[in-house]
Structure 1
Amino acid sequence: MVDGAVEALRTWGAGSTGSRLVTGSTTLHATLEEQLAAFCGAEAALVFSSGYTANLGVVTALSGRGALVVSDARSHASLVDACRLSRARVVVTPRADVAAVDAALAARTEERALVVTDGVDSIDGGIAPLRELHAVCRARGAVVVVDEAHALGVCGPGGRGVLVEAGLAGADDVVSTVTLSKSLGGQGGAVLGPRAVIEHLVDTARTFIFDTGLAPASVGGALAALRVLREEPDRPAAVLRVADELAEMSRAALTSSQVGRGREGEVPLAGQLPLTGSAVVPVVLGSPVVAFDAAARCLERGVRVGCFRPPSVPDGTSRLRLTARADLTTTELDRVRTVLHEVLDDVLAEVPA
């Protein structure tokens, strides 16, 4: 990936020099769009400067005044902001509640409707019920927008995403977004879907029209990473095996810490959240102070984990978020196991009885 980025840097320079519609598009951008679409089973793709701007662009361009947007309550902040900017009427439904989505669509008076959701929940790793959601949307004449940020490179056959896994890739009423900054290890984002939708975005998505194009080095790096993903299709399965192991050790560490203090069940266990075949492994600790302290102590011991607390998660559900990688060795996983046990024993022992 680094070699791909360096080659692009030397060929095209450090910056894209302008918006995509002026001077910011190169043959690299077009190649990445073609290869992303082919890999994910979409008809076409459009590269943005980030996954955030991709979500803002697609939702606002496909909705607007006189439309309805139905948004999952656990949608990423970029989708939430897109709904706010859309000028459409917005209905928020509980996470993965297909019946609530159906009710919102059935009650609408608007001609156009859009349903937006994360394919993989960035907080608990749960996978959206896409087949059921799509069936409802098709019956009600709505378009589905699925954020595959945490799915690309991890879920589905060869890491092609949850839409491919659900058999929905390429459907004429399904649009997806991806980020290039997670499994592909770079920066940028893209929208994938029917060619007519992509052509519409070129003319209407403000975050495409007026934003500086993605830097060529990022495009070259993403192309190189995508090539690795195509040529080494076992990597996504390795991620999921590591995720399962991280989940097991997290539950064991929490259980051991609680039982040892005679307070079993008081702190929510990571195992109460479903193992859903994603790279996201939550360790729910409840208090934001406890979660922040635990993340800091893990880092001191050489293990970097995420710390999620309000407003990223609801009150009382602050957590560590472990993210699986395909290249974690047995030695590294043993180190994670040891650190988790040590840190959770320490921080939970300090929680007042």
Structure 2
Amino acid sequence: MKTENPVVQIIPISEDEAGQRIDNFLRTFLKGVPKSMIYRILRKGEVRVNKKRIKPEYKLLSGDQVRVPPVRVAERDDAPVSAKLDKVAALEHCILFEDDHLLILNKPSGTAVHGGSGLSFGVIEGLRALRPDARFLELVHRLDRDTSGVLLIAKKRSALRSLHEQLRLKGMQKDYLALVRGEWPAHCKVVQAPLLKNILQSGERIVRVNSEGKPSETRFKIEEKYGFATLIKASPVTGRTHQIRVHAQHAGHPIAFDDRYGDRDFDAQLVGSGINRLFLHAAALRFDHPGTGETLRIEAPLEPKLRNALKKLRDAVK
């Protein structure tokens, strides 16, 4: 099949879109069009700003008029979004909050935040299919594929900038729930251990505690004890890849059903509870709204399967 914009389009640049390079603007505006084609139409002068030829590094100004030529690009017959309409529709029911600046999702476990690395479908592709008229939808942060919970998406470039600044200044509070092996010690409230990321030949990312790694800190709090397992709240101060999972393992209490850093014997003890996925859930996110400045705290409920599992563990220790 083919996708196309069959006519010339004139796009007015808003204040929110100003400041970005024309090539980056086109990569967002012309989703699915290869970068090579975008640079080709720029080089040939088919893209114009205020009726003038421009270079790829030109930075857009508010009020600029961008001429975008007709673009046709072949898609695979198994285009990811059309092949997975059921997943796209399901995302609608996962939305926790939405306004002109933000869209906040309770991401399901097992769904990647974006396609790539052998995956054809991700949350961001699904949301763009769900909101075809949205000119801007970008991830503010990421969650591992098997981690569920609060995921923040910006609907304006200014919102993305504001939220990234809050992340950089550690002004965003993230709280996760995790079920870990054994009895978490009450005195272990903070794990500070540097993390080093390794990329294997397969492309798989493995993170280890290593003195040469980046400084990393996670705060932990006991929520509930079940004898051979503990439900903890984990609040990362830094945002390293797999941070909570590796810090829990480093403390001697790996997370249930963690296929990279977990303990199979512990997982076997949980089979009767009905858990069959990584028990790591982004339960709450607190931040300042990029438009109003109001402090928001968004909570994402645990999926019923995990709630039922905790009830079984609770009943077993009574």
**Same fold per superposition (TM over 0.5):** no
TM-score range, shorter chain: under 0.3
Q: Which structure ranks higher in relative contact order (CA pairs < 8 Å, sequence separation ≥ 6)?
A: 1
Higher strand share: 2
Q: Larger Rg: 1 or 2?
A: 2
- TM-score between the two structures when normalised by the length of structure 1: 0.24
- TM-score between the two structures when normalised by the length of structure 2: 0.26
